[in-house]
Structure 1
Amino acid sequence: MRPFAYHRPENLAQALDTLRDGGSRFRALAGGTTLYDLMKIGVETPAAVVDIHRLPELDHIGVAGGELVIGAGTRMARAAAHPAVVRDFPAVAQSLWRAASQQLRNMATIGGNLLQRTRCTYFRAGAPFPCNKRDPGSGCAALGGRDGGHAVLGGSEDCIATYPGDLAVALIAFDAVVDVEGPAGARTLPIADLHRPPGDTPHLEHTLRPGELITRVRVPASAVARESAFLKVRPRESYAFALAAAAVGVVRGAGGEVRECRIALGGVATVPWRAAEAERAVIGRPLTAAGAREAGGIAMLGARPGRDNAYKVELGARTVADALMSLAEDR
């Protein structure tokens, strides 16, 4: 690990001033569960870290104005256990509980989780493997290489690294937004606009500007969020990243027909993946096993598997179907 300076601001305003002055050379330190790992392997080499994990302005959670509001510095475990999240946003709570280990959930923050970087082994292995995320223009070792854990949706000729997070998948399903602050002031982004698909610039993973911080996440309260679930398929039951995941929600009429549906995918795409066409296929019909399986297949349309990851096409479809049917069984 290279030497770096350490700053510990006393409030959000000081933190923003320090990050503004440091520009792209400084990194915000929240829970540290991702940043320190990347610094140890030389992927991140900041001149300074700005410790924001004790800032009270970022650590809060509650329901106000018809929406769930979670401060970006709130620990994942605290958010997962909050009564309002468990009751009214079960897919969000489940996505948090099924992430990492209890020790990491006690440390990792909501904002840090949203911005975690890929677990692509080539990205983290360093030389001699080329990686356009780590070293723009060097190439992508995963293309034509061992790609069993890589994305089949949203990839490009320059990168097929999978977005690793679970929370963002649940948030994108239910139209969450993030509030950010930085040198140019405050602004709000739909969660769908936070993460960038790789295209020809895979090293640019999000749309935050230099010096900006996520300050909070807001999720509208809704009937479809209340009737929701998150299903995660992984190599082992705990402490593993998703091979496929689905956040789903439905609202049904008195006759059992689906009036509203939400479907988002994780583990199979380069960014959190909203499956709008699959949602439309479910609406107006009873929630049946055949209909859920059809929706899963539609959700995976456009998949581009490589050498070892073709199994994710079927796995993703079945994960969507099983998640939807879990809601049918709960009724």
Structure 2
Amino acid sequence: MVKSKQGFWAEIRESVPAYLLILPTLIVFCVFLYTPFVNALRISTYKYNGIGDLNEYVGFGNYAAVLQDPKFYSAFWNTFQLIGADAVLSIGIGFLLAYVLYRGIPLKRFFSTALFIPYLISMVVIGSIWRIIYDPSIGPLNQLLELIGLGDWAQPWLSNEHTALPAIMMTWIWHTIPFNMLIMYANVMTMPNDFLEAAEMDGATSMQKLRYVIIPYLMPTFATLLLLTVTNDLRAFDMVWVMTQGGPGGASEVITSYVYRKAFSTQNFGTATAASIIMMIVMVAIMIFSQLLRRKEGAQK
């Protein structure tokens, strides 16, 4: 017992330099992350307009108000539609482009650089550009439809409640495809040549190598990109706000624009903070679930 105590304190003494090295990081985390989070939890239990002291305590009343608000569920549904479309189309198209670059095409470097440019542009700039593209009067999209004889399809894309959200989805996907393409291209380039050589010796065709070698090799990458897509799309705001501000009539409202509107349009910071905390809980739950799923798949293997 004495030896174990001595060993314990010896380990503590040896760890002191390490604790001193991470102490500045811990202080920064506490000051800039945990302290605001605790303050947000406190604000979410008060009726607060953003000015003055916290006086009117409502407990979980703000959470109840959010969970009883149909607009919150509409914004949540719109957000998950965006996530679903982004996960399927952006990751899928990104994989196809990565595979084409991997197989090799003329001017490969030029195309790999050109395809990545949309990801480098600011979301606000992208929203402004595509807002002009979708404009019913001067927008090139409607003009193109008129030119090819599909004028009946021309419409006010961002002012129509049936097309506003799909239009934002297409813009968002256009922005996220390059990132997914780059990550998958980088990973497929690290694949050992032995895998493909063994498949070729067995007489596998190009499609069989794609299905049985390349795609299984990239499955961990797909899982990572899916997690990044979910967490990133849950925070979608700037493009949505620039293009439609959640309109018309909440048709393109997402969680972040709902929180912003509650805080700065109705001056109800308590409810807005409660909604943001609910969103954070959902994000944490998704991350925990994905990690548990990965561990389960790893244990089965």
Higher RCO, Cα 8 Å, sep 6+: 2
Higher share in strand:
1
Assess same fold via TM > 0.5.
no
Higher Cα Rg: structure 1 or 2? Answer: 2
Q: TM-score, normalised by structure 1?
A: 0.22
Q: TM-score, normalised by structure 2?
A: 0.24
Higher share in helix:
2
